[in-house]
Amino acid sequence: MVARHDLATDPGLQEQLLQARRGTAFFARKLNELSDAELDGESLLPGWTRRHVAAHIGYNARALARLIEWAATGVETPMYPSVAVRDEEIEFGATLPPIALRNLFDHSAVHLSVEWRDLPDDAWRHTVRTIQGREVPASETAWMRSREVWVHAVDLANGATFADIPTPVLERLLKDITGAWQARGTDAGLLVTVSGTELAFGDPDAAVVVAGPLPDVVEWATGRGNSGVTASEAGRREPVPSPPAWI
């Protein structure tokens, strides 16, 4: 039997698909390390157990697969009917028996990967719409998935850290987050810099500068901790502020 490969030919997209699949494999490893009883434990997200995180990642794959089907057929297939329906789905998924929850993750991840594989090269440019209402090319689904699986692998609270996330993913994630702050005007007076690089985001005339290694800066920017960053104002060390809201 002849092996089947992705129909996408763009090198940049191929790299994004690879990062998303690697992130999915990393999430799978951290999930599989947990016993069934440990799924009931708290995640790093307030109000969510590890069950909620696993259910969210499973249903997220199904939702992104619907966008790929939209791009392939031209028939509008939204990620979810509404945000409320998405939230209800996650709450339901968190109540599934452990074997069903694990199967949800496994089967949905394979389904999305196959949808990606079989999408014709020209269809990756077709426009679809995210749950937030953004109109994006279908190629954006690779980044949308990558962001979810890498960050939520950390949220499983099973030993994964932001240092495990590849540098290209961290850099793009930080650009996304700070871009959202800028669009809302919530980064006024704040400059974020990454140690050992020329990466800087925010107000160049800011009074407060938050700095640190890339993994620690992204951890802080996503609201998941600040132990690896410092803050200064006029050259003086200050308490690290909470980051502006990202999502």
> Domain total for the chain?
2
CATH of the domain at 79: 1.20.120.450
Hey, how many other C-beta atoms are within 10 angstroms of the C-beta on 87? 12
Q: How many residues are recorded in the chain?
A: 247
pLDDT at 1: 39
Examine the pLDDT at 245 and tell me if it is beyond 90.
no
Ordered alpha helix ranges (H), 94-138:
98-118
Residue 212 in domain: yes
Work out the mean pLDDT of the chain and round it to a whole number: 93
Q: Which token pair is 107?
A: 């089967």
Clarify whether residues 109 and 194 are in a common domain: no
Clarify whether residues 173 and 152 are in a common domain: no
pLDDT confidence of 237, banded at 50, 70, 90?
Answer: confident
Q: Could you tell me which residues are beta bridge partners of residue 121?
A: none
- For the stretch 15-42, pLDDT in tens is 999 999 999 999 999 999 999 999 999 9
- Domain span at residue 83? 11-160
pLDDT higher at 203 or 77? 77
Residue 1 in domain: no
- For the stretch 46-76, pLDDT in tens is 999 999 999 999 999 999 999 999 999 999 9
Q: Is 70 exposed, middle or buried (0-12, 13-18, 19+ CB in 10 A)?
A: buried
One-character DSSP codes across 17-63:
HHHHHHHHHHHHHHHHTS-TGGGGSB-SSTT-BHHHHHHHHHHHHHH
Clarify whether residues 198 and 136 are in a common domain: no
Residue 173 in domain: yes
